[in-house]
Amino acid sequence: MKYVIPFLFLAIAAQGAVVRLAPEFTFPGPGNKAQTLHSLRGQPVVLVIANSSKSKALKKQLVWLRDLYQAFASRKAVFIAAYKNGAEPVQSNIPFALANNGAAVAAAYGVNGDFALVIIGKDGNIDYETVNPQTPQRIRDVMQNSFEIQAASRKTTPVGPITAPKPQE
């Protein structure tokens, strides 16, 4: 048991270095040229995945996002929608890009249900995902705190050699 503690510490420290990179996808950009998720590094991305534009959960999420859009815009957040079925425009005051091949995007993110919300940090890491609509305050909090906090937790600091405790006599 005495020798397990140092190894447990190393396992926990190694977990902080794990980055959950968001799966890549494309969407139409300026001039209708295909852009990739990777091209948005340095900006937070809010990805909503729904069966269609008629999804009740999607409509609820859009209403909630409307209230704090200016706060998101000041953070240079990019909003992208991916529909499993169809390619209708997003009915919102928030400018949404529509992902190419929404069914493939849903599959890449493991979305089996009607709705999912994914927040991708400035570093391309999935900072938050849920199958329930979230308040704009929750989304803002994730965007505001996740990048700095998670980036700091991923940095490993050298701690020197770890030695096992001496057995007690």
Whose tokens are 């493991």? That residue is: 110
pLDDT at 148 over 50: yes
Residues ≥6 apart with Cβ < 8 Å to 33? none
pLDDT in tens, 73-127: 888 899 999 999 988 888 888 899 999 999 999 999 999 999 999 999 999 999 9
- We report the CATH number of the domain holding residue 83 as 3.40.30.10
For 88, the domain range is 4-154
Question: What local confidence, expressed as pLDDT, does residue 89 receive?
Answer: 87
Residues ≥6 apart with Cβ < 8 Å to 26? 34, 35, 36, 37, 99, 100, 101
Examine residue 162 and state whether it is found in any structural domain, yes or no. no
pTM: 0.75
Examine residue 165 and state whether it is found in any structural domain, yes or no. no
pLDDT in tens, 37-75: 999 999 999 999 999 999 999 999 999 988 778 888 888
